[in-house]
C-alpha cells in the first residue's frame, strides 16, 4: 500500500527520487506517532525505533482528523517544526489519503478533508544584479574555463534548475533550441540567444576533443564522467568567490532567480516567464513580480497623474 503510493508518485506523477523519499519519511514518522499515541507499543520504546510493517488499510480507516492535528502539534513541540516543514507534511498526508480514497478507493472517508494548510511566508528570491552577473561571467578563467562559462551562461540566460542542467545530453542541443527535461518529466523547449550559442560552441570544441566515459552527457568533469549536482554547486561557489561576490549568499538556484528577474525587468511578461522556467502554476512565477525594481519606479513616475495632488486652501485661493 505505502510502496504502491510511492511507486505511483515516481512513475505516474514523475516526481524525483528525492521527493518520493521525503514522502516516505513523512509517512513513516506519522505511522510511528500513531502507534505510540495509541499505546500499541511498549511505553519505553523510542519513537524512531517503531516498525511500520503492521500498518494496513484497516489501521488507516481508523485515522481521525484530531489525531492528525495532534501529530502536527507534537512535531511543533518536539522538533521546533517551522511552517514550511509543517506545510510539506500536510501536503504529504493530503496526497496519501487522497490516493487511498480517490485512486484506489480503499478508503470511503478521507480524514484530511478538513485539514487546514499552514500559511507559509514566501521570501523574495535573492538574485544578482545585471552588473554582478556580468562581473561573474567576466571573471571566469583558468581550468575548465569553457565548461564553467557555458554552465553559468545557461543558468543566467535560461533559468535552468541544477537538476535540469546536469541531466542535459549532447542531443538536447538542436540548433538554436535546448530541449529540457523538467520536473514531473515535463519537456520544454528553450530558445538559445547568441550568448548561449557561442558559449555552447566553445565548450563543445573542448568536450569533443576528450575521450569520454559518458558520451551522452553535455557537461562532463575532468574525469570524463557526467558532472554532478555537487560538482556544479562547488563550481558555482568557487566562481562567485573568484568574482568577488559573497558565495554564502548565492548558489546555482540563485542564478535561476537572477535569470527570471532580469527577464522580467527587461520586458518579458509573466506568462512567458512561466513557460521559460517550467513552472506548473503562475503563482510560483508571480513572486518575481514583487521584486524591488527600478523600472517599476520609473513607470510610476512616468504616469501623467504622478504630479497631481490634493490642492491646499492657499492653492485653491480660498483664503
Indicate which residue of 15, 32, 239, 256 is catalytic.
256
Q: Which segments within the chain are labelled E, that is strand?
A: 173-174, 177-181, 187-191
Q: Which segments within 162-242 are labelled E, that is strand?
A: 173-174, 177-181, 187-191
Indicate which residue of 126, 237, 253, 254 is catalytic.
253
Residues 6+ apart with CB under 8 A from 16: 163, 183
Indicate which residue of 71, 149, 250, 288 is catalytic.
288
Active site residue 288: yes
Q: Cell numbers at residue 233, please?
A: 554547486
Indicate which residue of 28, 279, 297, 311 is catalytic.
279
Buried b (16+ CB within 10 A) or exposed e, 69-83: eebbebbeeeeebee
Indicate which residue of 183, 188, 237, 254 is catalytic.
183
Indicate which residue of 32, 147, 161, 226 is catalytic.
161
Coil vs helix vs strand at 177: strand
Report how far apart, in Å, the C-alpha atoms of 168 and of each of 12, 182, 216, 227, 276 are: 22, 11, 8, 10, 16
Active site residue 256: yes
Active site residue 8: no
Active site residue 279: yes
Active site residue 9: no
The catalytic site residues sit at 161, 183, 253, 256, 279, 288
Amino acid at each position: 500500500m505505502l510502496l504502491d503510493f510511492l511507486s505511483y508518485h515516481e512513475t505516474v506523477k514523475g516526481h524525483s527520487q528525492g521527493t518520493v523519499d521525503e514522502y516516505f519519511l513523512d509517512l513513516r514518522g506519522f505511522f510511528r506517532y500513531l502507534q505510540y499515541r495509541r499505546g500499541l507499543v511498549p511505553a519505553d520504546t523510542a519513537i524512531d525505533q517503531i516498525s511500520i510493517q503492521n500498518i494496513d488499510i484497516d489501521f488507516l480507516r481508523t485515522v481521525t482528523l484530531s489525531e492528525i492535528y495532534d501529530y502536527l502539534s507534537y512535531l511543533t513541540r518536539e522538533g521546533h517544526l517551522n511552517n514550511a516543514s509543517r506545510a510539506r507534511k500536510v501536503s504529504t498526508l493530503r496526497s496519501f489519503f487522497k490516493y487511498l480514497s480517490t485512486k484506489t478507493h480503499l478508503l470511503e472517508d478521507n480524514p484530511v478533508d478538513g485539514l487546514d494548510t499552514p500559511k507559509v511566508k514566501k521570501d523574495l528570491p535573492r538574485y544578482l544584479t545585471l552588473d554582478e552577473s556580468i562581473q561573474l561571467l567576466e571573471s571566469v578563467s583558468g581550468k575548465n574555463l569553457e565548461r564553467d562559462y557555458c554552465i553559468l551562461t545557461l543558468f543566467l540566460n535560461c533559468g535552468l534548475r541544477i537538476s535540469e542542467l546536469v541531466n542535459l545530453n549532447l542531443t538536447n542541443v538542436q540548433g538554436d533550441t535546448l530541449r529540457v527535461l523538467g520536473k514531473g518529466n515535463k519537456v520544454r523547449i528553450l530558445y538559445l540567444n547568441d550568448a548561449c550559442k557561442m558559449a555552447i560552441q566553445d565548450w563543445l570544441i573542448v568536450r569533443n576533443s576528450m575521450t569520454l566515459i559518458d558520451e551522452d552527457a553535455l557537461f562532463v568533469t575532468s574525469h570524463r564522467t557526467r558532472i554532478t549536482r555537487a560538482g556544479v554547486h562547488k563550481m558555482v561557489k568557487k566562481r562567485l568567490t573568484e568574482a568577488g561576490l559573497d558565495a554564502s549568499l548565492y548558489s546555482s538556484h540563485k542564478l535561476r532567480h537572477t535569470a527570471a528577474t532580469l527577464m522580467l525587468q527587461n520586458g518579458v511578461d509573466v506568462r512567458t516567464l512561466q513557460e521559460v522556467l517550467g513552472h506548473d502554476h503562475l503563482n510560483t512565477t508571480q513572486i518575481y513580480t514583487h521584486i524591488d525594481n527600478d523600472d517599476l519606479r520609473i513607470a510610476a513616475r512616468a504616469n501623467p497623474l504622478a504630479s497631481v495632488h490634493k490642492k491646499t486652501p492657499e492653492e485653491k485661493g480660498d483664503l
